Amino acid sequence: MKIKKNCKDMKENKVINSVPFLEGNIVDLCSINLEHVNLYNKWGNDPNVRIYSRNVIPWNLEEVKKWLEQQKEGIKTNVIFEIWHRNDKKPIGTAGLSDIKWFNRNANLYVDIGEPEYWGHNIAPEVSKLLIDYGFEELNLHKIYVGIYSPNKRSLRAAEKIGFKYEATLREQIYIAGEYVDEIKFAIFKKDWLSSK
């Protein structure tokens, strides 16, 4: 895993933050940048983007800013990154580890690619692998898990391809597009991830 110190702005060649980020082949993971809060708000309200992340209440810009500011306070239970496309030099989504339980050493992994033209380009698996490496090697987590809704076939295939193992099905767990659908739970353990590398 490579750790870098800076991301470059999409319009100018200026440094936008000095928080370390993780470097991949297609994307880098940068710290969240409040200068891009309009993008985060757009992605959170886009019906096509939010359908499987289940943002059912509209976000306004001030709410997004306030939520991001709150992430700086107290014991961190979320580590949030901006997905930065290396070739196109622009942010295309967010990802992170959420609901971190430091005592039990487990966390939920999520990836939200906010720009639909980047869907299906092997970005989510790369982002997931970067986060898994980071979670196990840097944060010393024991278990990383995901919950994927049954209509989201692309994410279900990606989870298995990455190495997540099926744990449970929560039947009719969430209401999406007029019907109750299942949530499929997957997990990966540190020992299994490290032995597969």
Q: Tell me: the pLDDT tens digits for 68-103?
A: 877 777 778 999 999 999 888 899 999 999 999 999
94, 78 contact by CB (below 8 A): no
164-175 average pLDDT score? 96
- C-alpha distances (whole Å) from 110 to each of 9, 15, 36, 140 are 24, 26, 19, 18
Q: Domain containing 42 — which CATH number?
A: 3.40.630.30
d(CA 121, CA 113): 11
* pLDDT at 81 (0 to 100): 93
11, 1 contact by CB (below 8 A): no
Residue 17 lies in a domain: yes
Q: Tell me: the pLDDT tens digits for 9-31?
A: 444 444 344 344 799 999 999 98
Question: How many domains, in total, are found in the chain?
Answer: 1
* pLDDT at 49 (0 to 100): 81
* pLDDT at 197 (0 to 100): 78
- What is the pLDDT confidence band of residue 187, given thresholds at 50, 70 and 90? very high
pTM for this one? Answer: 0.85
- C-alpha distances (whole Å) from 186 to each of 39, 49, 168, 189 are 29, 21, 7, 10
d(CA 92, CA 11): 14
Pairing of strands 90-101, 79-85: antiparallel
Residue 175 lies in a domain: no
* pLDDT at 59 (0 to 100): 81
- Domain of residue 133, residue span: 2-142
Residue 38 lies in a domain: yes
Of residues 146 and 177, which shows the higher confidence score? 146
Of residues 70 and 162, which shows the higher confidence score? 162
